[in-house]
A and B are shown apart, each in its own frame.
Chain A
Amino acid sequence: MSEAPSYLSPTGHEIVFLLLGVVVVGTGLLVVTTRQVVHAALWLVVCLGALAGCYLVLTAEFVAWVQVLIYVGAVVVLLLFGIMLTRAPIGRSPDLDSRNRPVAAVVALATAAVLVTVVVDGFRHAYVDLSPGKGTAEEVGVAVFRYWVLPFEALSVLLLAALVGAIVISRTDIRGR
């Protein structure tokens, strides 16, 4: 990797990725700092969508579509339902942050510092030439059903268990013995 290009002459991929990354981080910050609960969910949509773009840039197209489908489609809708069901205030609410906030800021900053330092230190010279086709549905499907069948099936059982659990927990007419 010694022939890795300089950071000062970014390729088009990198520029696009960096822009998407800025969007991801920025909207992520908005998610955790906004004063409105619903806005947080919507910023989350943007954030996760931008992340899907990142996956696309990184040639993982199937994962990107799954991301859009499940996260942006299902998860966020689920969250919005949760927000509504818990009667969260629509509009600005001043007390969305707990008193733990300074501690949280310190810990988060420290986490960021440590992680970024370590990561930059470790992968300064890592470089990859992106070639499309590595993350198509075909490729990933072959991988899943040829090599990862067993975890896949186990995961389906997990999903079923979560489904049953969620129903049991949230329904009021089922009581413990």
Chain B
Amino acid sequence: MHIVYPVVVSALLFSIGVYGVLARRNTILVLMSVELMLNAVNLNLIAFDVWLGDRLHGGQVLTLFVIVIAAAELGLGLAIVLAVFRNRRTVDLDSLRDLAEPGPDCDAAGPDRGVAGPAPAPGPRRGTGQEGAAT
């Protein structure tokens, strides 16, 4: 069997996963895409394990490990998603923007605000109303 086949399938699957991670809005769908990427890696591992005929079966064992890690990751990820959902009532990625410098008012404040100046105290976050339910 040509190794190219599984490897190309794996590459395509990985790219599909990348697309899903970057393009999907629902966090759970993003998690699914991550699973796709992990499985692409698994396919790679299996294919090369078979090709190289590894006596230790490193590829297959590693695949098992990846599956375990993926399960653990998914469990944690879902827990986080649920926590976010409880706090924000949403799991849409593009409405979760606490990474940004607070607020567009910062841009409007004009050039007097130092470029490297300290960020002002964070304003009220989105979904503060649900803060009481935070962990």
A and B pair up? yes
Tell me the dominant secondary structure on chain A's binding face: helix
A45 CB to closest chain B CB (Å) equals 11
Q: Mark B73-110, 1 if CB is under 8 A from A, else 0.
A: 11110111111011000011110000000000000000
A83 near B16: Cβ-Cβ < 8 Å: no
Q: CA of A126 to CA of B62 in the docked complex: distance in angstroms?
A: 22
* Nearest chain A CB to B22 CB, angstrom units: 3
Say yes or no: A25-B23 contact (C-beta < 8 A), given A139-B57, A159-B68.
no
Q: Tell me how far the C-beta of A21 lies from the nearest C-beta in chain B, rounded to whole angstroms.
A: 4
Judge if A46 is at the interface, Cβ distance under 8 Å.
no
- What sequence of 0s and 1s flags, for each residue 110-132 of chain A, a beta carbon within 8 Å of any chain B beta carbon? 01100110011001101111100
Total A-B residue pairs with C-beta atoms closer than 8 Å? Answer: 267
**A71 engages B67 (CB within 8 Å):** yes
List A residues at the B interface (Cβ < 8 Å). 4, 7, 11, 13-14, 17-18, 21, 24-25, 28-29, 31-32, 37, 40-41, 44, 47-48, 51, 54-55, 57-60, 62-63, 66-67, 70-71, 74-75, 78-79, 81-83, 85-88, 95-101, 103-105, 107-109, 111-112, 115-116, 119-120, 123-124, 126-130, 134-135, 139-140, 143-144, 147-148, 151-152, 155, 158-159, 162-163, 165-172, 174-176
